[in-house]
């Protein structure tokens, strides 16, 4: 297979001409790491060897390729399988791989730990840049670590790949830690970071990139980058993310304990990353769903404490809002949107971050502050 021209075009599209990451991307055969993947639109298995042209197109496009849905990995699936549930592993889009690594301010001789080995592609790109002995990757899934190591070895790379749970402990100490999954708490990664080391991560259900440098006091200080990213939340052990369809189904057409008219048009909260991030900090654990049927737009919010909200309207008209449970979730959302309209932005992006040894992120900007983890 003549993959090299495809990798070179991909590298040219995701890195500047003078970037030190151009050659690592251009020399990494991404198709090796995604021989099979899931077409999310059809929930159908795609087999690379069955259509080489489609394989090359998919592997060397700047897009994420989902390799596992729920507990079913594409490697072990049959063409008849139609898995349900949420994606649980993927090969991240190459431009985001490069962005996360660049945020790490990597340097020659730095020891890097990659949280979330996944397909092994990020590990391969990092090893091409830093050298095998300076890169370790970890994943909670022993199948993923075994396969990633085999595929890395098949292209002549031998970085260490370990099975570990980054929510509890990371083996070793490192100058740089870059997480390719969204973490619920940063205690374990902070503990594995050497003083003076740098952490790059996203947070569970909060689509932000946090960069922070560790001090001699065991804490880390940094910022929320103006850049944005959203990763799958990390798993702990064999635990899989909950399938929330039942929660949304239960309140889909329920009459609310409180019924009112909303102030703003119905919003797809999951696609409005600034708003989504602030909502999670205000009500940790809130989940969102959105549908359009013709000119009708409907959004739902649910929380494990029994709180829920549903807002529905035609096009951009003010919605009818139904709410129930102990908290009025739509009112929380509207307060965030009030602030966005009044101030022209939300304070989270660009805020200062202080990460304490217990793994909690403390955000501050002006008079605003919040904590996560």
What CATH number corresponds to the domain at position 136?
Answer: 3.40.50.150
| Residue 243: per-residue pLDDT | 56
Positions of the chain with pLDDT lower than 50, given as ranges: 240-241
Q: 249 and 220 in one domain?
A: no
Is 40 part of a structural domain of the chain?
yes
Q: Which residues pair with 136 in a beta bridge?
A: 113, 160
| Residue 244: per-residue pLDDT | 61
Rounded Cα–Cα distance for residues 193 and 308 (Å): 39
Q: 184 and 269 in one domain?
A: no
| Residue 245: per-residue pLDDT | 64
Q: 278 and 136 in one domain?
A: no
Q: 313 and 252 in one domain?
A: yes
| Residue 337: per-residue pLDDT | 97
| Residue 219: per-residue pLDDT | 98
Is 66 part of a structural domain of the chain?
yes
**Which of these, 259, 244, 243, lies nearest to 310 by C-alpha position?**
259
| Residue 15: per-residue pLDDT | 97
| Residue 236: per-residue pLDDT | 56
Question: What 3-state DSSP class applies to 229?
Answer: coil
Q: 153 and 30 in one domain?
A: yes
Q: 310 and 204 in one domain?
A: no
List, for residues 252-289, the tens digit of each pLDDT value: 999 999 999 999 999 999 999 999 999 999 999 999 99
Question: What 3-state DSSP class applies to 82?
Answer: coil
Rounded Cα–Cα distance for residues 14 and 99 (Å): 9
**Which of these, 99, 115, 310, 102, lies nearest to 204 by C-alpha position?**
115
**Which residues, other chains included, contact 74 with Cβ-Cβ below 8 Å and sequence gap of 6+?**
36, 37, 38, 45, 46, 66, 67, 68
* Domains identified in the chain, total number: 2
Strands of the sheet with 112-115, listed across from one edge: 160-163, 135-139, 112-115, 174-183, 193-203, 206-214, 220-224, 352-355, 361-365, 368-372
Q: 193 and 95 in one domain?
A: yes
Domain hosting 31: range is: 4-224
């Amino acid at each position: 297979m003549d993959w090299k021209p495809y990798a070179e075009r991909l590298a040219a599209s995701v890195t500047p001409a003078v970037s030190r990451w151009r050659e690592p991307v251009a020399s990494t055969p991404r198709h090796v790491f995604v021989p099979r993947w899931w077409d999310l639109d059809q929930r159908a298995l795609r087999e690379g060897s069955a259509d080489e042209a489609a394989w090359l197109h998919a592997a060397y496009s700047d897009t994420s390729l989902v390799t596992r849905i729920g507990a079913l990995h594409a490697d072990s699936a049959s063409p008849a399988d139609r898995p349900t549930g949420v994606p649980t592993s993927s090969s991240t889009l190459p431009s985001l791989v490069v962005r996360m690594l660049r945020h790490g301010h990597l340097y020659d001789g730095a020891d890097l730990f990659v949280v979330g080995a996944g397909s092994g592609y990020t590990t391969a790109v990092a090893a091409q840049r830093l050298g095998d002995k300076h890169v370790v990757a970890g994943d909670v899934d022993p199948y993923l670590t075994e396969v990633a190591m085999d595929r890395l070895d098949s292209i002549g790379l031998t970085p260490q790949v370990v099975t570990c749970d980054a929510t509890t402990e990371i083996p070793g100490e490192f100058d740089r830690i870059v997480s390719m999954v969204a973490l619920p708490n940063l205690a374990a990664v902070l503990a594995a970071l050497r003083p003076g080391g740098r952490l790059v991560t996203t947070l569970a259900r909060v689509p932000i990139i946090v960069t922070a440098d560790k001090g001699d006091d065991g804490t880390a200080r940094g910022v929320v980058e103006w850049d944005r990213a959203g990763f799958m939340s990390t798993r702990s052990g064999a635990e899989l993310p909950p399938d929330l369809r039942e929660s949304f189904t239960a309140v889909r057409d329920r009459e609310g304990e409180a019924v009112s008219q909303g102030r703003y048009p119905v919003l797809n909260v999951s696609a409005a990353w600034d708003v989504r991030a602030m909502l999670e900090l205000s009500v940790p654990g809130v989940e969102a769903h959105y549908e359009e049927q013709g000119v009708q737009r409907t959004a739902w919010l649910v929380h494990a404490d029994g709180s829920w909200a549903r807002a529905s309207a035609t096009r951009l008209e003010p919605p009818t809002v139904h709410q129930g449970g102990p908290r009025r979730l739509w009112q929380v959302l509207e307060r965030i949107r009030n602030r966005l309209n009044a101030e022209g932005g939300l304070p989270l992006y660009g805020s200062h971050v202080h990460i304490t040894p217990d793994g909690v992120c403390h955000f501050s900007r002006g008079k605003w502050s919040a904590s996560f983890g």
